[in-house]
C-alpha cells in the first residue's frame, strides 16, 4: 500500500493510504490537523505542501489548483493538498503548521474546523457615501462633524437593518452593507438591497432638512449596489477582536459608485447597480 511521509518541524511520520486519494484526505483520515480554510475547494492556499520526494507519484494539477499555482507563480514542488491525488509513495512538508499560522486560521481551536476562516456566498453588497463630505469636514468643528456623521450612520443603518442587512464596515462617511447573510435566493438579496437603498435616500432627505437648518447646506448621497460571489469570514486583530466581513471583487465598487447621477425625488443622488449571476 502506498505511503505518505510527513516531514514536520520536530518529527517525521508515515501514513499508509489507498491510491487516488488526496493528500488532505489522507491527513484528515489519520487525525492530522491539516488546515483547509476553503473546505477543500481549491480556493485558498492554507493546505499547501512542499513535495520533498515522489512528485511523479502525484496526478497533474486540477483546473482549480492550476489557477492558484499560476496566480502565485508556484514551482512544481508546491501543491494544494486538497487537489493533489496520489498514485504512489510521496514525502511532503506542510507549510501551515506552527502556532502562529494555526491561531490565525483557527483561533483557540485544537484541530481545524472547515469553514472557520471564511465561506463563499453570493450576496448583494451596498456601498454608500456622501458627496464632497471632505470639504464639509475640513470647514467645520470636529464635534459638529462627528455629530452629523452619527446622525447619518443612524439614518442609513436603520434602512439597512430594517431590510435584514448586515453593516460590514464604516469608512469615514462610507458605509458598506451585505444582503442578506444566510439567504440563498438571489432575488430576495437584491430586493432587500434595493429597498434599503430607497429607504436610505428617503432618510437622507430627512437628514438634509436638519443639515440645512444647522449648517446651511445639503448633501448628495451616492449609492452603489452589486450582486455576486464574496467570501464571508472573520477578520481578526492582534487583540483577538473579530469582525465579520465580506471580501472579493463584488465589494470593490467604491470607484464605480459615482458613475452616473439620477434625480430620484429625494435630491440628486448618484446610483449604480451591477449584478453577477441570475438575480432576476
The reported pLDDT for the residue numbered 270 is: 45
Angle ∠(108,33,42) on CA atoms, nearest 5:
105
The reported pLDDT for the residue numbered 143 is: 87
The reported pLDDT for the residue numbered 230 is: 83
The reported pLDDT for the residue numbered 201 is: 95
Q: Are residues 208 and 133 in the same domain?
A: yes
Q: Are residues 87 and 197 in the same domain?
A: no
Q: Are residues 131 and 239 in the same domain?
A: yes
The reported pLDDT for the residue numbered 239 is: 44
Looking at residue 94, which CATH number applies to its domain?
A: 3.10.20.30
Per-residue pLDDT of the chain (280 residues; tens, 9 = 90+): 789 999 987 788 899 888 889 999 999 999 888 888 787 888 888 899 999 999 999 999 999 999 999 988 899 999 999 999 999 999 999 988 765 665 555 454 444 444 445 677 889 999 999 998 999 999 988 888 989 999 999 999 999 999 999 998 899 899 999 998 878 888 999 999 999 999 999 999 999 999 999 999 999 999 999 998 887 776 655 444 444 555 544 444 444 344 333 444 444 444 455 554 444 4
Q: What are phi and psi of 203, to 5 degrees?
A: -65, -35
Q: Are residues 223 and 147 in the same domain?
A: yes
Contact 219, 211 (CB under 8 A): yes
Q: Are residues 201 and 227 in the same domain?
A: yes
Count of domains for the chain: 2
What whole-number distance in Å separates Cα of residue 106 and Cα of residue 99?
10
β-pair partners for 125: 178, 226
Q: Are residues 39 and 152 in the same domain?
A: no
The reported pLDDT for the residue numbered 234 is: 64
Q: Are residues 124 and 30 in the same domain?
A: no
Looking at residue 156, which CATH number applies to its domain?
A: 3.30.70.1230
Beta carbons within 10 angstroms of residue 263's beta carbon: 8
Domain range for residue 225? 119-275
Amino acid at each position: 500500500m502506498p505511503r505518505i511521509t510527513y516531514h514536520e518541524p520536530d518529527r517525521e511520520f508515515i501514513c499508509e493510504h489507498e491510491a487516488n486519494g488526496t493528500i488532505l484526505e489522507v491527513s484528515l483520515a489519520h487525525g492530522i490537523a491539516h488546515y483547509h480554510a476553503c473546505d477543500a475547494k481549491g480556493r485558498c492556499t492554507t493546505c499547501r505542501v512542499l513535495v520533498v520526494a515522489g512528485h511523479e507519484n502525484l496526478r497533474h494539477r486540477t483546473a482549480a489548483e492550476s489557477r492558484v499555482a499560476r496566480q502565485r507563480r508556484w514551482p512544481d514542488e508546491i501543491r494544494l493538498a486538497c487537489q493533489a491525488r496520489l498514485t504512489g509513495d510521496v514525502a511532503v512538508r506542510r507549510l501551515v503548521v506552527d502556532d502562529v499560522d494555526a491561531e490565525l486560521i483557527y483561533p483557540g481551536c485544537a484541530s481545524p474546523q472547515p469553514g472557520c476562516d471564511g465561506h463563499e456566498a453570493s450576496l448583494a453588497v451596498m456601498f454608500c457615501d456622501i458627496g464632497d463630505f471632505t470639504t464639509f469636514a475640513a470647514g467645520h468643528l470636529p464635534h459638529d462633524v462627528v455629530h452629523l456623521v452619527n446622525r447619518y450612520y443612524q439614518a442609513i443603518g436603520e434602512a439597512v437593518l430594517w431590510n435584514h442587512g448586515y453593516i460590514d464596515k464604516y469608512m469615514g462617511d462610507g458605509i458598506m452593507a451585505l444582503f442578506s447573510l444566510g439567504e440563498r435566493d438571489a432575488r430576495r438579496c437584491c430586493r432587500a438591497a434595493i429597498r434599503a437603498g430607497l429607504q436610505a435616500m428617503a432618510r437622507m432627505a430627512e437628514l438634509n432638512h436638519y443639515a440645512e437648518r444647522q449648517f446651511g447646506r445639503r448633501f448628495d448621497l451616492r449609492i452603489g449596489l452589486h450582486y455576486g460571489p464574496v467570501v464571508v469570514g472573520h477578520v481578526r486583530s492582534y487583540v483577538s477582536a473579530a469582525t465579520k466581513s465580506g471580501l472579493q471583487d463584488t465589494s470593490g465598487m467604491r470607484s464605480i459608485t459615482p458613475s452616473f447621477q439620477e434625480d430620484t425625488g429625494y435630491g440628486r443622488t448618484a446610483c449604480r447597480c451591477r449584478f453577477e449571476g441570475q438575480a432576476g
